Each structure stands twice: as structure tokens, then as C-alpha cells.
Copies of this chain bind each other. A is one copy, B any other.
Amino acid sequence: MATNWPTNKQWVLRKRPEGDIGADNLELIEAPIRDLEDGEILIRNIYLSLDPTNRIWMSDQDQYLPPVEIGQVMRGGTIGVVEASRSARFNPGDLVNPGLGGWEAYTIGHEAMVQPVPSLPGVPLPAFMSVLGATGLTAYFGLLDIGKPQPGETVVVSAAAGAVGSIVGQIAKLKGCRVIGIAGGPDKCRWLVEELGFDGAIDYKNEDVGAGLDRLCPNGIDVNFENVGGKIMDAVVARMNLFGRMALCGMISTYNHEGLVPGPSDFAKVLMRRLLIKGFIVIDYLPRAGEAFAELAPWVMSGQIKWKAHVVEGLDNAADAVKRLFNGDHDGKLLVRISPEP
């Protein structure tokens, strides 16, 4: 059977990045697709999710999953369609999420890991790679489970125009908070305020973040959804209120740097203001995904939460496209279209 199958294309990790991801870190190869065993499914990948955490997986730093090994296919979230199945649970044509997939045209998944992709009227497939996928879950649980925002409180989101940040801010608005975003460039800031209903936005490329926070958060900051780390995080921590909460989701400003990344420069604030800081990874919350989906899906279907995807065409362009996450050159959740939707 496998003899009639197409050849797979796969991005393989060749060298761990030092600093920015470069041309020599990943290589696109061709490889045959093996036969399926019982319980396995051959998935033709349609969309690949590119995320800042890809950079972490490529490095050998201490992290929340084993790093991708040199020579292995690069890990990534995908959605695809079943092409062949030796599982009673899945049939050709089903849309599925293989669990943790890879940067490749075809993935062989096992029925124990593969999940069906739900279908909602009027909701396009990329939504399940963003607002109704891991991105939305990250925003939902980080904000609500750790940040615990109360109506009237002030929530500050960094990387606010990013896939996660933009959803965080909209959920916080739906929960009755004052929401301030930090983003790079006037277009992103305008989008946050005019399209997504943020109460204010700070363009860190053109304004001192501390001064912006002073201007837009006259009552201080109660919740910080932190995506960036470094000096932006420092400016937020300096203005946090008594019993403030920081959901530490990422530190993208630091991923391309070597060496240790320090905590808030004024750690005494954590003590004096009795702050809570909690790191989290969305996989911790996968058992509760249904809870998030039940609240997010109606918001998405009614348009109360807006989202957008930046789709790069072609698996061949994945290694180049991932760099956009670190220079801000993308507009919405970054996806690669590997093959056409059915």
C-alpha cells in the first residue's frame, strides 16, 4: 500500500539556533511514508501552527517538553485530513488534530493521540488553530485561572496584538475589565483599540512603556498577562497593585538571546505588594479544554471575539516564516498552509 503513497516532505532540525533562527538550523528533506500499523492514521496536514515556543523546542535549554533532537522532524501543531486509517475511530476525510504533529506534509498519528476537529457553522478551519485551539486555551486559562480578573480591574497584556494577547484582551473586556495592550507599531495599537475594544494601547516602539502605563493605568495594574519579559515586564511589575497577579505565559523578548533571563528587576515589589507570579503552559490545561471551548465558541460565533490568521503558503516557506514571530512581521495567528482544505 505504501508503495503508492506520495513522498513526505519534512523539516528536520540540523543545528540548534544561537541567537536568531538562521538558514542552517532546519533542512527540508524528502522521505518515504511507511506502512500503517493497527490503530494508526495517515494524516495529510493542511495547516501548521508557528509559535514562539518553537524556538524553545529547537534549543537544548531546560523546558517543558524534551527538546527536538538533532535529525528529528521539527515539532509543531497541525490540523489535517485523514487519508488512510487502520483505526475504527477515524475514516478518510475526517478533519483531525494529530496531537503534537510536525513540520511535515504527512503525519502518521495513533488513535490514542489523534483528536477530531469539531465543526461549527460559519467558523473557518484556521479558527481551530488559533482562537479555538491552543492559542485560545492559553489566553483563556492564563487570564482566568491565574489572573482571576474582577470587573473594574485593570489588565495589562504584552504582545497584545499577537495571537494569544489579542484574545486575552478581548476576554478581559468581556469580563468587565479595563484593558491596556502593549504592542509594536501604530497599526497594531490602532487595531487593538478600534477593532478589538481595548481601552488603550502602548506602542513600545514609539513610546516609553512606563510613561504609557502611567498615562493609561491611573489606578495601577491588577493583572498582567505577560508574553514578553525583560524591560516591558519590569515596567508593568513596577506599577502593579497590592495583591496583583501575573500570568507568565512567555518571554518572547528573550528567546533569541543566550544566557539566563532574569526575573523582574525590582523583586521587592513582589514581596511588598504581595504579588502572585505563576508560570504556565497550555498543556497543563488540556484536561479542561472543554470548559474553555464552551465559553469561547459562542463568543467566536457571535463575533464578540475577533481573531485573524496570517497564512503563509507552502511548507517550503515554514522555516522562513517562523522568524516573523520574533520581528513582529505578521498580522494575526501565524499559520502555514501545507495543503488545500478539503
- The segment out of A84-92, A210-218, A259-267 that lies at the interface is A259-267
Interface set, chain A 108-166, CB cutoff 8 A to B? none
Which of A34-42, A246-254, A326-334 binds B? A246-254
Q: How many residues of A contact B (CB 8 A)?
A: 33
Instruction: Evaluate contact between B266 and A270: CB separation under 8 angstroms.
Output: no
Residue of B nearest to A284 (CB): B274
Which B residues touch A277, using CB under 8 A? Answer: 270, 275-278
Of B250, B265, B267, B278, which contacts A274 at CB under 8 A?
A: B278
Known A-B contacts A276-B276, A277-B277; the reply to A267 vs B271 at CB < 8 A is no
Q: A254-B268, A262-B265 are in contact. Are A278 and B281 (CB under 8 A)?
A: no
Chain B residues closer than 8 Å to A249, beta-carbon distance: 271
Known: A261-B266, A262-B262, A265-B260. A251 touches B271 (CB 8 A): yes
A contact face: mostly helix, strand, loop, or mixed:
loop
| Contact, CB under 8 Å: A267 / B278 | no
Interface residue ranges, A against B (CB under 8 Å): 61-64, 229, 248-251, 254, 260-281, 284
A64-B273, A272-B281, A274-B281 are known contacts; what are 15 more A-B pairs with Cβ within 8 Å?
Answer: A61-B272, A62-B273, A64-B274, A229-B267, A260-B268, A261-B266, A262-B264, A263-B267, A264-B267, A270-B277, A271-B280, A274-B279, A274-B280, A276-B276, A277-B277
Give 25 A-B contacts (CB < 8 Å), ordered by A residue: A61-B268, A61-B272, A62-B268, A62-B272, A63-B272, A64-B272, A64-B274, A229-B267, A248-B270, A249-B271, A251-B271, A261-B268, A262-B266, A262-B267, A263-B263, A263-B264, A270-B277, A270-B279, A271-B280, A272-B279, A273-B279, A274-B279, A275-B278, A276-B277, A276-B278
